[in-house]
Amino acid sequence: MDVLDQLAEPAVELSGRVDDVLAATGAPAGHRIWPLLRRLRVLPGDAVQAVLGLRTGALDAAGEVTGDLRRGYAEAGAVLVDGGSWQGPAAETYAAHRTGMADHLVELTGRVDATAAYAAAVAEWIAGTRYALARTLADLLGSAEAVTVVTARVGEHGPSGVAPEGLPVGSAAAEIGARILATVAEAYDRAEALPQRWAAELDESTYRPPDTPTVSPDGGHVVR
């Protein structure tokens, strides 16, 4: 359990109330929450729920999987090193393919290492995103805006209330929502950069057999 888990219950309650207020009254015209809503296409409460659902468990297991793959490639590579005492045109063709496959295994091992590093980077992003949102929520939960939103009276014309400094409930909800969505937007930017950073190292690796002459059943080269 991390800090965000500890804040989950009050955070879900507050952000849910923010969603209700925004749905009922809207946000003030020109408020900074509008571009965030248009960009992320999610309400603050849904954004909080989404980040709460981010977990690193599956990614933590990636190291074991990639370790198994590395060992498998290493074993296959060791077999390819020993070409035996076979000689002749067929042996030369086989040696070319053996070398090509060994090189491909080295490339695959590099892809495995990159995949493990990428998984670790994503796990680090998840942990960082959860911590950043927890800090934002910790500040918001004790704010005057939060008091206004939580204690707002809900009537047939929607929520009503005023913060101690005279801030209307709609403005209070918009300010809370903007701070939540701004934190999520920053995390989103970092998430978008991850695949771009690792794209080249995670590209599919395709084995291309060497261009060798065809060998006849008696072991000689076939003239084409």
Q: What is the pLDDT of residue 164?
A: 46
Tens place of pLDDT per residue across the chain (224 aa): 899 999 999 999 999 999 999 998 889 999 999 999 999 999 999 999 999 999 988 787 776 777 778 888 887 877 777 666 667 777 777 778 778 888 888 888 888 888 888 888 999 999 999 999 999 999 999 999 999 998 877 554 455 544 444 568 999 999 999 999 999 999 999 999 988 887 777 777 777 777 766 655 555 555 44
The pair of structure tokens assigned to 63 is 């190291």
Q: What are phi and psi of 155, to 5 degrees?
A: -115, -170
Q: What is the pLDDT of residue 158?
A: 52
Q: What is the value of pTM for the model shown? A: 0.77
Mapped to the 3 state alphabet, what secondary structure does the chain carry?
A: CCHHHHHHHHHHHHHHHHHHHHHHHCCCCCCCHHHHHHHHCCCHHHHHHHHHCCCCHHHHCHHHHHHHHHHHHHHHHHHHHCCCCCCCHHHHHHHHHHHHHHHHHHHHHHHHHHHHHHHHHHHHHHHHHHHHHHHHHHHHHCCHHHHHHHHCEEECCEEECECCCCCEHHHHHHHHHHHHHHHHHHHHHHHHHHHHHHHHHHCCCCCCCCCCCCECCCCCECCC
Q: What is the pLDDT of residue 162?
A: 47
The pair of structure tokens assigned to 45 is 């409460």
Q: What is the pLDDT of residue 220?
A: 52
137 neighbors 11 (Cβ within 8 angstroms) = yes
Q: What is the pLDDT of residue 86?
A: 67
With tokens 């925004």, the residue in question is 22
d(CA 175, CA 126) in angstroms, rounded, equals 25
The pair of structure tokens assigned to 55 is 């977990």
